[in-house]
Amino acid sequence: MSFIKGMKLLYNAVDDGDMTAEKASQPIAGYRTTLTLLVLAYTLSMCDRMILSILFPDIKAEFGLSDTQLGLLGGISFALFYATMGLPIARLSDQYSRKWIIIASLIIFSLMTAFSGLAAGFISLLLFRIGVGIGEAGVNPASHSILADYFPPRRRALAMATLMLGGSFGMMLGFMGGGLIAETYGWRIAMVSVGVPGLLLAVGMARLLREPVRGAFETETPPPPPPILTTAAHMWANPAMRHLIAGSTVAGLMSYGLTQWLPTFFIRTHDLSQSQTGMMMAGVFGILGAIGALLAGKWFDRLSIRGFQYGLWMLALIPFVSIPFFIMGLFANNLTTAMLLFIIPGLIGNCFLGPTIAMVQTLSPVHMRAVSSAIKMLCINLIGLGMGPLLVGVLSDLLSPRYGEDALSVALAYFTLVGLWGSLHFWLCGRALAQQQTLLKGST
């Protein structure tokens, strides 16, 4: 029952008598600067990742690609190396300076994004996207680990949700900036333009980012980080962690599959330009997504006062609310109706990100946090980002003979239903947390 020992550490981390209430409830000094820098890094990471989707029509026309090939560019080419490289880099993050790992990663993915504008064809662009994936692999696990040492357990969901604002900001920057630049100067200049700012941020982070003491909110000095397989086995031994990872992976599968293809959907179905699509996506899914992420993080933290399981059960309900509106929006007769119907999915569609990242950090021992985060990101990105866009592209191609121009809409509608599978795992995760909490109370 090794996971029971881990859960004891989890609940005692907040309530241990050796820690004052002030220390247990307040973040460490400098957290605002650190959080701001990490949000900016994640913003540029997501911008470099998502800009490709607004450029799909131009790239398809220039290179003569199919939807399946576009799905490969937007999914598995990036995700395969992003996910697999994340594990060894996260292992280093549990041993060495997380600050310099983030900076090095920032430089690599920024350069690879800029070089993507020089691609001569499908293969070279595929290779540059692989480079972007390798570069971005070090940002999230190290960032999650740093924030877990700046914030106490019951304030981490909001902190992680704030970090996830970078996803919404990056989406807005990629869609709006990428669309406007591509319309005026072409998709190649758009790629170069979003790559350069990352190099400037790397210089700023070298001067301003501060590495916190590991395990600042723990009562025991953490041991050296174990091998990756040991961390994986520890995670597997905890039923709550198993369902948390499964639910996050399925939610990521749906989220990435839909987000990568929505710009193309609006261009094909509603005859929007790239700049119009970028502004619409930024408003409905970027701004609303940011608001929803913050509200979800705050509400999750409040529910966690009663028990972490209540926050997980909240996440389990979200797809049942968002999916019907999303499907109706896909088949709306006009753009105004579609945008109104997409408001609810845009607001709550990605609410799972901050709370699930926070729970992985909270359920993991200090010396396993970066690797635990990387294992979660491996699952989300290898399966979610890697397969989501590809599956939608393949499904769209398969449905084309029957549905013609409406094939992508039908493919996206079918694909939303996988979100219900994720709900099951979030509900089971909450139930496992409730059972573990009962066992802990019975053993004390």
Express each pLDDT in 70-104 by its tens digit: 777 766 667 777 767 777 877 777 777 888 999 99
Region class of 340: left (phi > 0), else alpha (psi between -120 and 50), else beta: alpha
Residue 41: what pLDDT?
A: 92
For the chain, percent helix, then strand, then coil, each to nearest 5?
A: 85, 0, 15
Distance CA 182, CA 209 (A): 33
Dig out the tokens for 381 from the structure. 């990105």
Question: Over pLDDT 90: what percentage of the chain?
Answer: 18
Distance CA 408, CA 431 (A): 37
Type and span of the H or E element at 225 = none
Cβ atoms < 10 Å from Cβ of 324: 14
Collect all residues with Cβ–Cβ distance below 8 Å to 307 and sequence separation of at least 6: 433, 434, 437
pLDDT band (50, 70, 90) for residue 441: low
Dig out the tokens for 184 from the structure. 């005026």
Residue 217: what pLDDT?
A: 63
The HSE-up count of residue 403 (CA atoms within 13 Å, CB side) is 17
Dig out the tokens for 290 from the structure. 């940011």
Distance CA 45, CA 137 (A): 10
Dump pLDDT digits (tens) for 316-330: 999 999 999 999 999
Dump pLDDT digits (tens) for 393-415: 889 989 988 888 889 999 999 99
Q: Residue 205: what residue type?
A: M
- Residue 406 has what DSSP assignment? G
Dump pLDDT digits (tens) for 1-53: 444 454 454 444 444 444 444 445 677 777 888 889 999 998 998 888 778 87
Mean pLDDT of 358-371: 79
Q: Which of 13-27, 106-120, 134-148 has the lowest mean pLDDT?
A: 13-27
Residue 216: what pLDDT?
A: 61
| The length of the chain, given as a count of residues | 444
Query: HEC states along 207-249?
Result: HHCCCCCCCCCCCCCCCCCCCHHHHHHHHHCCHHHHHHHHHHH
Start-to-end CA distance of the chain, whole Å, equals 15
pLDDT greater than 90 at residue 365: no
Residue 164 contacts residue 357 (beta carbons within 8 Å):
yes
Distance CA 146, CA 139 (A): 11
pLDDT greater than 90 at residue 282: no
| Phi, psi torsion values for 229, nearest 5 degrees | -65, -30
Tokens 């999916």 appear where? 323
Mean pLDDT of 179-190: 87
Type and span of the H or E element at 249 = helix 239-270
Tokens 């999750």 appear where? 300
Residue 412: what pLDDT?
A: 93
Residue 81 contacts residue 204 (beta carbons within 8 Å):
no
Distance CA 183, CA 126 (A): 23
DSSP assignments along 341-374, one per residue: HTHHHHHHTTTTHHHHHHHHHHHS-GGGHHHHHH
The HSE-up count of residue 21 (CA atoms within 13 Å, CB side) is 0
pLDDT greater than 80 at residue 369: no
